[in-house]
Amino acid sequence: MPTSHPNAAAIVPEAARFRPFETLLDRDTALALLREAVAGADDGELFLERRRSESLVLDDGRIRNASYDAAEGFGLRAVRGDVAGYAHSTQITESALKRAGATARLAVGAGGGTLAEAPPGTNRHLYGDFDPITEASFAAKIETLRAIDDYLRALDPRVVQVTASLSASVQEVAILRPEGGLVTDIRPMARVSIAVIVERDGRRESGHYGGGGRIGLSGLMEPGHWQPVAREALRVALVNLDAVPAPAGMLDVVLGPGWPGILLHEAVGHGLEGDFNRKKTSAFAGLMGQQVAAKGVTVLDDGTIPDRRGSITVDDEGTPSGKNVLIEDGVLTGYMQDRQNARLMGVPATGNGRRESYAHAPMPRMTNTYMLGGTDDPGALVASMKDGIWAVGFGGGQVDITSGKFVFSCTEAYRVRDGKVGEPVKGATLIGDGPTSLKNVRGIGNDMALDPGIGNCGKAGQWVPVGVGQPSLLIGGLTVGGVA
């Protein structure tokens, strides 16, 4: 994957940077209003944001969508106990801040709280202060999308439709804390996505691939990057042309490395977020220090990996991101915490307080969640199955946090009999529950990989970018939904 692009023209110029306390608000006045709002509270902050984003989509040889969006605003929060008052506005003005403070203040009531200590500071920066939107001209982006379309159609006559997209954004945040500290961050993001539909003898199948991160867009626009992405999307589509209906029943499953870690994210990750465990609605509630997975299973949430899609220098409360061990050698060792839930549970915040935008209050969220690799040869894991499924690619899925039950659809999977990889299958869904699946891990590959940078996570109506990863995993006894 390309690293942050060094193009000086894309650096956010000093004069153009988001400095709300120099251009929109008096900092001392804003701090006084924030302190008034949180007087007698346990915590609170003023979160200010400016975001710009651009997206271009070429579909079937034509530009289907070209959008540019710019927004800015603030959110003010006051927290006391397990109650939070939150108000936000698109107007960053003193009068709007006064109204927001009065609204947030309602959660504090008569007060009586003790203001929590400020988060620790950090000089670390995990990505460049640049604007990927401005790295290339609009015409160059259109030319790249058309080149992708031409390239795929020239590769194989069975290609009947190509959808390619380029997207880039930059988010600038400033977080004013009631103790007077100010935390700022500039968060770039870029991505390329390619989907292809192929047809043979009247049958149509599709394939999709893409990726990116907190990196430059111009690197993703280089043929040396997007051509392999295009070929991978085409390969998946052609594999699916030969796919037969998936079997149904209880089968062993080998999950491939990288993006299949989305199953880990949904089935396990959400259940390890602090709010669900404090409220005892998670399948993992009350199990700290207990064996919740097979020996050898170690799961981390790590927001400190440079340039990754899910990485954050600081979270949306101003806490530095962390490399947090959640499960170590099968034993539950930690939860992901924002400040409020950490305080109520008597543990440190872990840098996982995230929000979609200034219009949303923060909550515990994942960053890059992955399982460490083991010592098994991935090929040997597949060869060990007498009758099973090798699941290489995943699409959508859902999970019930309370029970841990999940359902996931496979976008690329193969039948395995007597250790031999056979025909590709379509329509396969994997059904199980996170706690049981973790305990049924029978083999951990030595091929741990992170996903290519495509993940978004939804929770309580909020979406944030995330990363996942894992090695090849052999899991015994998953229910495969398909054709009986």
Q: Is residue 3 part of a domain?
A: no
Closest listed residue to residue 236, CA positions, set 200, 258, 209, 255: 209
The average confidence (pLDDT) of the chain is 94
Full domain range(s) for residue 126: 8-241
Q: How many helical (H) and strand (E) elements, i.e. helices and strands, does the chain have?
A: 11, 23
DSSP annotation of 246 reads P
Q: Using only C-alpha atoms, what is the Rg of the chain?
A: 24
Q: Is residue 397 part of a domain?
A: yes
List all residues 6 or more positions away from 224 whose beta carbon is below 8 Å from its beta carbon: none
Among 218, 241, 264, give the residue marking a domain's end. 241
Closest listed residue to residue 62, CA positions, set 198, 134, 137, 161: 161
The answer on 259 and 341 residing in a single domain is yes
Total number of domains in the chain: 2
The answer on 249 and 234 residing in a single domain is no
298 HSE (CA, 13 A, CB side): 13
What does the alpha-carbon distance between residue 265 and residue 276 come to, in Å, rounded to a whole number?
15
In the block, residue with structure tokens 């959008």? 67
353 HSE (CA, 13 A, CB side): 24
The answer on 221 and 90 residing in a single domain is yes
326 HSE (CA, 13 A, CB side): 31
For 174-227, the pLDDT digits (tens) are: 999 999 999 999 999 999 999 999 999 999 999 999 999 999 999 999 999 999
What does the alpha-carbon distance between residue 430 and residue 479 come to, in Å, rounded to a whole number?
6
Write down the pLDDT at residue 397: 75
The answer on 476 and 456 residing in a single domain is yes
Q: Is residue 2 part of a domain?
A: no
For 372-400, the pLDDT digits (tens) are: 999 999 999 999 999 999 999 998 778 88
The answer on 131 and 97 residing in a single domain is yes
DSSP annotation of 414 reads E
The answer on 186 and 302 residing in a single domain is no
The answer on 148 and 86 residing in a single domain is yes
Q: What average pLDDT does this structure show over 75-100?
A: 97
In the block, residue with structure tokens 């329509």? 427
Regarding beta strands 387-399 and 249-255, do their DSSP bridges make them parallel or antiparallel, or are they unpaired?
parallel
List residues bridging with 371 in a β-sheet: 299
Among 208, 241, 274, give the residue marking a domain's end. 241
Tell me the two tokens of residue 278.
């404090």
The answer on 340 and 418 residing in a single domain is yes
Among 212, 241, 270, give the residue marking a domain's end. 241
The answer on 13 and 103 residing in a single domain is yes
The answer on 249 and 216 residing in a single domain is no
Q: Dihedral of the CA atoms 240, 241, 244, 247 (nearest 10)?
A: 10
- Burial (CB < 10 A; 0-12, 13-18, 19+), residue 62, is exposed
Closest listed residue to residue 468, CA positions, set 248, 264, 312, 224: 264
Q: Is residue 1 part of a domain?
A: no
Kindly tell me if the per-residue pLDDT of 109 is higher than 70: yes
The answer on 174 and 38 residing in a single domain is yes
For 242-288, the pLDDT digits (tens) are: 999 999 999 999 999 999 998 889 888 999 999 999 999 999 999 99
